[in-house]
Structure 1
């Protein structure tokens, strides 16, 4: 008995990637007519819908078909539910169809799906002649045996409902070979969501570093990155004339308080900091994350930030503290707006609503974090710490905790590579729960009854009748 784990590349299904490739923001400054803009958009859409990366899942299908695993688990991004693919020739007038419907149909009978594919040489050495189909199950919903197969959205797992301190939504399919007598039981959702503060609030407070460049772009002497100079830089980040622009008054007062009381003794952290953790709110997650043998916390070192970003981080943290949500660019006072194209586009009516209106985002203390993605390797602007007194983005260890990596898990490589590894992962605490469902199914199917191809349809119907 064994299980196949995997998933096709997600670039073609990613909502962000799709927005970039289908969006027309790049055409806005070309002074084109409306007809020319539509033509460019149509050509771009045709190219996207015929992108061969949409069908890379057939490589996964071949593995399923040839090796006939008793079970498989396939994971992908939420965008796969709404991603479309061309039905044929781009000029045949047929509208694109949803790729997920095609994937689930093909997974139920992989040999039928790959009948026209050229299989790799030597595949016969790995095949035993079986050509079974598969029943597909959701990890979060019981089988809809009375009414037919699951709906596409049934395969969507919202991690925050299962003890993960992060709003991470992923599509995961559990396939059971049709001759295997097992019907998986779904995950049990948690009553309360785990928050950012519960998970990272007990870690040592840190200050950010000051980047090697000043406001005018000139290289700064690293000796200017002392705790005292950092505190002065934060205190001076929002001058009085800018502070007067900020509404409501409670935000102004919160910023003033932070500026006047910010600590001059915080460090930037280290590869290891001796520390006794005060605990994590969720007891089960606490046991999973912490390891008292460490005697401290590893890989908890802050990034460097430009002085000009201190003002935005301070504003973000105080705003979230007051309103319980991260502000959008429209909430920023004009003096704090970054000089970036997204700011210019946010005020244009002809720009799609998918424009990034939250280029800077604070992780709200009392809520689960937003999705941790690999973009965090580039900068920390989407992952600002909620504490105004720290005025920084999240460390490797903080992000790792939000992804539920245990504290004793060490990430190799430089800091950029460490962030990338974390952003690309499935949360281990969620993977643990998924594994428990798979393990229960393995135990449930201790014996496998092999059916002939002629009995395949009958066996599938029988399985459904038994589980009603």
Structure 2
């Protein structure tokens, strides 16, 4: 019997996907997953349905018909029962809302017997903890962190731990949680105290075992009675690129093990780094669209070529000969006839992909690339993107700030552009290195996520971001494109989640 998983603040389901994928679902099975945002919940439910019907040839055929645009819905009469079951597993719930809390509690009361082995996974929303979120909050005149409910959503997670006592829990959050303060106190220290002794948080004396909070990468742990200032909180940071994830995603991940259970496990093992090229090389090239101007393939190509030629001439005049030559080469390589992609973009040619990646990402039943659609950019940004990608290919790093954006027409209209505050305003993902962190900010604009090919002159698509997050190609993100970007940016990489699930299985199996 698989060990039950309860997934809170699930997003589109990256963490749960990893647990479900370990040994093809034979070790762990999601009992319930909870997500409040409607489009993420749609994605979550669709993936739950996919897992339920995966081994049923007739039912799974209709899922692929939906992905391939041949059916309006992913289910039919024969798979209606599985679709209904997926709605019972993947719930749209707002934790902290009394009605939704009651729904969650009723499911756990009915389906989690006291002596069952089970695991709680997930992480509270991170806006209040993230450095970007905190800087934005500082600009709000009446903002007080102690009054921000997002700081305390982890207590909904904690309430389940106190009341249900899972053998193990996994809690993930942004690195900014380590330095975030409420009322002048570091919130991470309080979180360690709370999670290790959930009874004490609610003013109750402890009559049941507490938890030891382990790092996944070092021998560091915390348990009730220890002084949290005696440990280095950075020991709880997992740097994903060190473990074969094609992205430098640094997150705090806490492994809580009940103190009456032996926590013998092998920590995450370093793996070779995976580059952007290795996971994006087989996706078809696209062009961006041009916003606020006439938009055809020819008009786009002409605009990009003009920008690159002008920049090459300016670089030549400023005695930047290597850069000028690279910009001219980029201009000559710009192609006409490129499309901008689509929610379902036809698969015409299959390019070789690295063997380690092919078995995880590819699905021969898909006739389309899903969620592979370029966004529109202003022509001024086409100039910056083409320049930045060319510069990065030449110098091995993304250009920073006004000093490296010194050619004509590159400076954005910011009063403080030369102050250094916007040094990373435009960031290229390099082909030969892991990507920088894919975050939900990718939904706002593409400036931090410029495609490394200057002849495509655009930001990453949802599918490319999903590849960097290690979602399989048959993971179909629902909602509009902005919502899809949010889902991908907020998720835990499923390939990393599998490694975490393996650690949990060592403890419980």
Same structural fold, with TM-score higher than 0.5 when normalized by the shorter chain: yes
Q: Pick from 271, 276, 284: which aligns with 1:196?
A: 276
Matches within 5 A, 1:368-379: 368-379=434-445
TM-score, structure 2 as length reference? 0.70
Q: Pick from 317, 342, 365: which aligns with 2:389?
A: 317
CA distance in 1, matches of 2:149, 2:300: 50
1:7 has 2:123 as partner? yes
In the other structure, the counterpart of 2:418 is: 347
CA distance in 1, matches of 2:121, 2:499: 15
Cα 1:246–1:3 shift into 2, 3 Å? farther
Q: Pick from 265, 287, 299: which aligns with 2:371?
A: 299
Task: Provide Cα deviations, 1:380-422, integer angstroms capped at 9, x if missing partner.
Answer: 1211111111111111211110111101111112211211111
SS at 1:370 equivalent: coil
CA distance in 2, matches of 1:247, 1:412: 49
Q: Give the superposed CA RMSD.
A: 2.5
Q: Pick from 283, 286, 290: which aligns with 1:206?
A: 286
1:109 has 2:203 as partner? no
- Per the TM alignment, residue 340 of structure 1 is displaced from its structure 2 partner at its CA by 3.3
In the other structure, the counterpart of 1:231 is: 301
Task: Provide Cα deviations, 1:22-61, integer angstroms capped at 9, x if missing partner.
Answer: 36xx9xxxxxxxxxxxxx8xx86xx346645433322322
- Per the TM alignment, residue 304 of structure 1 is displaced from its structure 2 partner at its CA by 1.8
User: 2:315·2:407 contact (CA, 8 Å) conserved in 1?
Assistant: no
Task: Provide Cα deviations, 1:139-184, integer angstroms capped at 9, x if missing partner.
Answer: 1123569xx8863111110111111111111101111111123333
More displaced stretch, 319-328 vs 261-270: 261-270
CA distance in 1, matches of 2:463, 2:149: 37
Cα 1:339–1:346 shift into 2, 3 Å? closer
Q: Pick from 243, 249, 268: which aligns with 1:168?
A: 249
User: 2:215·2:221 contact (CA, 8 Å) conserved in 1?
Assistant: no
In the other structure, the counterpart of 1:132 is: 209
In the other structure, the counterpart of 1:408 is: 474
**Matched residues, number:** 383
SS at 2:162 equivalent: helix
CA distance in 1, matches of 2:288, 2:503: 42
- Per the TM alignment, residue 136 of structure 1 is displaced from its structure 2 partner at its CA by 1.1
Q: Pick from 393, 411, 415: which aligns with 2:459?
A: 393
CA distance in 1, matches of 2:155, 2:367: 48
More displaced stretch, 317-326 vs 229-238: 229-238
CA distance in 2, matches of 1:247, 1:55: 56
| 5+ residue gaps, structure 2 | 1-116
1:359 has 2:425 as partner? yes
Q: Which has the larger radius of gyration?
A: 1
TM-score, structure 1 as length reference? 0.76
In the other structure, the counterpart of 2:154 is: 57
More displaced stretch, 261-270 vs 381-390: 261-270
In the other structure, the counterpart of 1:263 is: 335
1:70 has 2:143 as partner? no
User: 1:142·1:185 contact (CA, 8 Å) conserved in 2?
Assistant: no
CA distance in 2, matches of 1:173, 1:22: 28
- Per the TM alignment, residue 423 of structure 1 is displaced from its structure 2 partner at its CA by 0.9
User: 1:206·1:302 contact (CA, 8 Å) conserved in 2?
Assistant: yes
SS at 1:172 equivalent: strand
User: 2:411·2:417 contact (CA, 8 Å) conserved in 1?
Assistant: no
CA distance in 2, matches of 1:280, 1:62: 45
CA distance in 1, matches of 2:258, 2:447: 45
CA distance in 2, matches of 1:247, 1:280: 39
User: 1:246·1:252 contact (CA, 8 Å) conserved in 2?
Assistant: no
Cα 1:185–1:261 shift into 2, 3 Å? closer
User: 2:440·2:486 contact (CA, 8 Å) conserved in 1?
Assistant: yes
User: 1:68·1:130 contact (CA, 8 Å) conserved in 2?
Assistant: no
CA distance in 2, matches of 1:425, 1:246: 44
User: 2:393·2:430 contact (CA, 8 Å) conserved in 1?
Assistant: yes
Cα 1:268–1:51 shift into 2, 3 Å? closer
